[in-house]
Amino acid sequence: MLTARTKDGKKICLGYNYKKETLLYFRSREEFFCPVCGEKVVLKLGDQRMYHFSHKKGGECRDSYENESIYHMEGKLQLYQWLLRQKIPAILEFYDQEIRQRPDIKFTFKNQKYALEYQCSPIAEEIFLKRTSSYVDAGYVPLWILGNKQIHQKKNNIFSLSNFHYLFLQQTVEGSYYLPSYCPEKKLFHLLNSIVSYSIKNAFAQNRFYSIGQGEIDYLLNPECAYQINLIQWNSELEKIYMNWVLHPNPRQNSFLHDIYKHNLNLFLLPPEIGLPVHSSLFIQTSPIIWQTYLYLDILAKKHPMDIFTVQEVERSFYRRMAKKEIIIRDFPLIKPVNPFLAVMEYLLLLDKLGIVALKGKMAFQLIRTISIPQSNREREEMKKIFFQKYQPMISKQ
Ligand SMILES: [Zn+2]
């Protein structure tokens, strides 16, 4: 940790870049105590690691600072100094007596107090939710920033994101979503935006980097986000998933595979219209391949051209699948609640653009043409080729 108190209650904060001689002098004259548990702590002034305070072995501190890595301490120190440079009142390791919580940094910006948590190691969702709600109850805006080490880029624009990562999702004023992270080694903010998930653990996303030297707080609280997706790349990832499901099926996918075989469909012969990217797909944990296939089976396949179906009908099928846990949604504690059905509506509106359905009024659609199901691999490849040529630009920038 980076703050401690002296015997007479004075606070010593290592966020001020003291010289080593000054700290050596302090150390020779003062004793230091943990502001949280009151136990004695030692000021470490080694040349290898950054200067910090450390509890004595065996001490029991509620906040267990000792698990803090240098990466974490470096990061919060840089973030703290970054706020000070912008003349934003900030307190490092502020201990809020009332809620017995200690955000890494407390700061006030535009008359709003913020609790910044720089999270470099995974924590249980329960703890995340508990801390978040106690900050909110005490009038803070919780600002959780991921340690950039926690973000695993699989390849360009493809990331492996778990439920833990999605807890950190933030919303811009314009309503775009992004995941903020910070790397103290590169001194860079790395913001993932335009996140479109295609399986429980994988998603496409756009990168945005800001150096802490150039970026101001607005870049972090309200970054520019631009939706963009490469349909061909998207499709090639889906193909890998099909293969993976068949080779290593889990019970959930088994029930899906069983369902589609029952309807004479084959995972490898799904038409290109099923499994399309939409903006809000991240609100549904279940892959778009699965929920879009269900929509096809429950509604579209049962209609004839010119038939009308209502949004309510689609909603009923969606919630029925949800109740049976065939469709699972994601929770995002830091943003305003979003109805996951939004993703389904976006998909229907995309099918409208593709000329498969047509929106009738506000609450109904008409089937214009049935989606044709390829009968062979060759036919499917042909269909995909034509589909991509025709719709790639439109789907890439919805
Ligand atoms: Zn302590």
- Same domain? For 95 and 126 the reply is yes
CA of 67 to the centre of ligand 1 (A): 12
Instruction: Measure CA 61 to chain center.
Output: 30
CA of 6 to the centre of ligand 1 (A): 14
Domain range for 178 is 70-221
**HEC readout, 351-369:** HHHCCCEEEECCCEEEECC
CA of 41 to the centre of ligand 1 (A): 8
- Same domain? For 191 and 258 the reply is no
CA of 38 to the centre of ligand 1 (A): 6
What confidence score (pLDDT) does residue 284 get?
A: 96
Contacts of 228 (CB under 8 A, 6+ apart): 194, 206, 396, 397
Chain length of the chain? 398
CA of 77 to the centre of ligand 1 (A): 19
CA of 63 to the centre of ligand 1 (A): 7
Which residues of the chain register pLDDT less than 70?
Answer: 58-60, 62-67, 398
What confidence score (pLDDT) does residue 54 get?
A: 86
What confidence score (pLDDT) does residue 59 get?
A: 63
CA of 227 to the centre of ligand 1 (A): 45
CA of 180 to the centre of ligand 1 (A): 29
What confidence score (pLDDT) does residue 48 get?
A: 73
Which stretches of the chain are DSSP H helices?
Answer: 20-29, 70-85, 125-137, 163-166, 217-221, 231-247, 251-262, 288-298, 311-323, 341-353, 377-396
CA of 105 to the centre of ligand 1 (A): 17
How many structural domains comprise the chain? 3
Are 181 and 190 spatial neighbours (Cβ–Cβ below 8 Å)? yes
CA of 50 to the centre of ligand 1 (A): 19
What CATH code is carried by the domain that includes residue 206? Answer: 3.40.1350.10
CA of 4 to the centre of ligand 1 (A): 9
What confidence score (pLDDT) does residue 50 get?
A: 84
- Same domain? For 43 and 99 the reply is no
CA of 102 to the centre of ligand 1 (A): 11
User: End of a domain among 170, 202, 221?
Assistant: 221
> How far is residue 70's CA from residue 76's CA, in Å, rounded to a whole number?
10
CA of 112 to the centre of ligand 1 (A): 28
- Same domain? For 95 and 214 the reply is yes
- Same domain? For 49 and 155 the reply is no
Contacts of 373 (CB under 8 A, 6+ apart): 265, 269, 270, 271
CA of 24 to the centre of ligand 1 (A): 22
- Same domain? For 53 and 111 the reply is no
- Same domain? For 148 and 204 the reply is yes
- Taking 3-state DSSP, the helix, strand and coil percentages for the chain, each rounded to the nearest 5, stand at 40, 25, 40
What confidence score (pLDDT) does residue 64 get?
A: 57
CA of 241 to the centre of ligand 1 (A): 47
CA of 64 to the centre of ligand 1 (A): 7
Please give the torsion angle defined by the CA atoms of residues 116, 121, 125 and 128, in that order, rounded to the nearest 10 degrees.
-20
